[in-house]
Amino acid sequence: MTSINVTVNGTEHQADVEPRLLLVHFIREDLEMTGTHIGCDTTNCGACTVLLDEAPVKSCTVFAVQADGRQVMTVEGLAQNGNLDPIQEGFREEHGLQCGFCTPGMLMTSYALLEQHADPSEGDIRKAISGNLCRCTGYVNIVKAVQYAAQKKAGG
């Protein structure tokens, strides 16, 4: 067992974990935050995307011990004081989700994109989310959702 200290959505968590424990299992099972999903185990689908020190990572291929001393942000951390982040609003307004399973990962990747790039082109958005698979929407409305959030954040 290894002792780790991970800050998730601003709250510090101390835990003793097996070195082989995946970050996604630490988040879902040890911390019981089930918004982050598992879709493939091979870093392809992106359902498990979280931000590690502000960069999107696929938490099914990061060990919990690698998050020691670092900041993790999950879908549960998007809304602030009960107010939705514009990216969450965008997905609802533009019908950017159907079954909702890829949605947390899509939200985190899109959130990270907009933090880096306030006014992305359609091509930028498609490239940014190309590591997140969605089987329901055909992506067109996800692109619109990200554009909605970009406009909202720009005050539009």
Partner 1 sequence: MTLRTSPEIGGMGHSLKRKEDARFIRGQGKYVDDVKLPGMLYLDIVRSPYAHANIKSINTEKALAVPGVLAVITGETLKEYNLHWMPTLMSDTQMVLPVEKVMYVAQEVAAVVATSRYAAADGVEAVEVEYEPLPVVVDPFKALEPDAPVLRTDKEGKTDNRIFHWEAGDKAATERAFAEADVTVKQDIYLPRILVASMETCGCVADFNATTGKLTIWMTSQAPHAHRTVFALVAGHVGLSEEKIQVIAPDLGGGFGGKVPIYPGYVIAIAATVVTGHPIKWIEDRTENLQADSFARDYHMTAEIAAKKDGTMTGLRIKALADHGYTDAATQPSQFPAGMFSICTGSYDFPQAFAEVDGVYTNKPPGGIAYRCSFRVTEAVHALERMVDILADELSMDPAELRLKNFIKPEAFPYRSILGWEYDSGNYEGALKLALETIGYDDLLKEQVEKRARGELMGIGICSFTEVVGAGPSKHFDILGLKMFDGAEIRVHPTGKATARFGTKSQGQGHETTYAQIIAEELGIPAEHILVEEGDTDTAPYGLGTYASRSTPVAGAAAAIASRKIRDKARKIAAHLLDTNEDDLEWEPGKFSVKGSPTLSKTIQEIAFAAYTNFPEGMEPGLEAVSYYDPPNLTFPFGSYICVVDIDKGTGEVKIRRFLAVDDCGNIINPMIVEGQIHGGLTMGLAPALFEELVYDENGTPLNGNFMDYLLPTAMETPKWETAKTTTPSPHHPLGAKGVGESATVGAPPAIVNAVVDALSHLGVRHIDIPMTPDKVWALLREHGVTE
Report the 3 state secondary structure along the chain.
CEEEEEEECCEEEEEEECCCCEHHHHHHHHCCCCCCCCCCCCCCCCCCEEEECCEEEEHHHCEHHHHCCCEEECHHHCCECCECCHHHHHHHHCCCCCCCCCHHHHHHHHHHHHHHCCCCCHHHHHHHHHHCCCCCCCCHHHHHHHHHHHHHHCCC
Q: Are 15 and 76 in contact (CB under 8 A)?
A: no
Q: Are 115 and 55 in contact (CB under 8 A)?
A: no
Scan residues 114-143 and list those touching partner 1 (CB under 8 A): 122, 125-127, 129-143
Q: Which stretch binds partner 1 (CB under 8 A): 16-24, 51-59, 112-120, 148-156?
A: 16-24
Shortest distance (Å) from residue 64 CB to partner 1: 12
**Per-residue interface string for the shown chain with partner 1, residues 54-83, x marking contact by CB under 8 A:** --------------------xxx-xx----
Q: Which stretch binds partner 1 (CB under 8 A): 35-43, 63-71, 112-120, 147-155?
A: 35-43
Among 8, 57, 72, 104, binds partner 1 (CB under 8 A): 104
Among 10, 12, 16, 42, binds partner 1 (CB under 8 A): 42
Among 4, 23, 26, 39, binds partner 1 (CB under 8 A): 39
User: How many chain residues bind partner 1 (CB under 8 A)?
Assistant: 60
Q: Which two tokens stand for residue 49?
A: 């995307």
Q: Which residues bind partner 1 (CB under 8 A)?
A: 18, 20-21, 25, 28-29, 32-42, 44-45, 47, 74-76, 78-79, 84, 88-89, 91-93, 95, 97-104, 107, 122, 125-127, 129-143
